[in-house]
Amino acid sequence: MVHLFRTSLGVMALAAAALGAGGVHAANGPFLAHQALYDLSLVKSRSNSINSARGRILYNFAGSSCEGYTSEFRQVSELDSGEGKVTLSDLRSNSWEDATGKSYRFKIETRMNETEAGLVAGSAERDGDHINVKLKLPAPKNFTLDGKIVFPTEQIQHIIAAAKEGKSLLELSVYDGSDDGQKVYNTLTVIGQPIPAERTASPDPSTSDEHMKTLQRWPVTVSYFDREVQQKEGEQTPVYAMSFELYENGVSRQLVLDYNDFVISGAMGKFDVKDSKPCN
């Protein structure tokens, strides 16, 4: 289950971005403060390594263009690999990102079965053509990253901007603090044709909400590649991929998490719009 644990961390960080964190880009308009609950279930197991899977993702998103955006994310998953082998993972993430993509703070807590929680925490500041990262946990460390790398909120901003421009492909390098806090992922985003607001196949709480009824959305698949492996070996196999329908206000529905060995879907079970303070 080490493979699952490693990729779960990455999917958690990606989902924390994809489930609602939006940058503040004038063309995109405001992003919606909301809480969403997703019910997880097994779609298929390619290697027959997983017999069943269930769990939930709870996502809270709040903030504004003047105070920045806060994301709280928790994913609890129970995986049954047969013969009584059940693995319970509990993944939590709290992050804050400046609306202009200058600053990013994060804390990620991971727990597998009854083991002691693993913690990663730190901050990143954009400074000209580079990014200064200060890790507090698991051990203090300072390092720099290429300034072209984006944070999770920026990532969604770029995806929505590209979708509105009619682009179908987008390549970005992303830093989200996952794994040991030093990992950078190369991502390839594939954007499908826009889905009109009036098309509500497989409805859920988001499609019936008054705030969402007039909004178009796009089918999006983001594949994540290990940047170091890709640079050294030219390896083009994604570590994992995530598909979802992305609204223009940053809300996501119809999640599919592809861990390579198996695939999990996330159906939205609850959706609540939250009050947000307007900027002065």
**pLDDT tens digits for range 65-124:** 888 889 999 999 998 888 778 889 899 999 999 988 899 999 999 888 878 788 999 999
CA separation for the pair 185, 10 (Å, rounded)? 9
**268 — pLDDT class (breaks 50, 70, 90):** very high
The average pLDDT across 253-263 equals: 90
Q: Is 202 left (phi over 0), alpha (psi -120 to 50) or beta?
A: left
Closest CA to 96 of 62, 134, 130, 126: 62
> Mean of the per-residue pLDDT values for the chain?
84
Based on the number of CB atoms within 10 Å of its own CB, is 118 exposed (0-12), middle (13-18) or buried (19 or more)? middle
pLDDT, position 246: 93
- With contact defined as beta carbons under 8 Å apart, do 88 and 94 qualify? no
Is there a contact between 15 and 73 (Cβ–Cβ < 8 Å)?
Answer: yes
Residue 59 identity (one-letter amino acid): Y
Residue pLDDT, tens place only, 177-236? 988 899 899 999 999 999 988 887 688 888 888 888 888 899 999 999 988 877 777 667
Which pLDDT belongs to residue 147?
Answer: 93
Q: Which residue has the higher pLDDT, 14 or 41?
A: 41
- Evaluate if residue 12 carries a pLDDT over 50: no
Per-residue three-class SS string for 134-159: EEEECCCEEEEEECCCECHHHHHHHH
Q: Which residues contact 226 (CB under 8 A, 6 or more apart)?
A: 183, 185, 186, 235, 239
Indicate the pTM of the whole model.
Answer: 0.86
277 pLDDT higher than 80: no
Helices vs strands, H then E, count in the chain: 3, 14
pLDDT of 127 reads 93
Which pLDDT band holds residue 30 (cuts at 50, 70, 90)? Answer: low
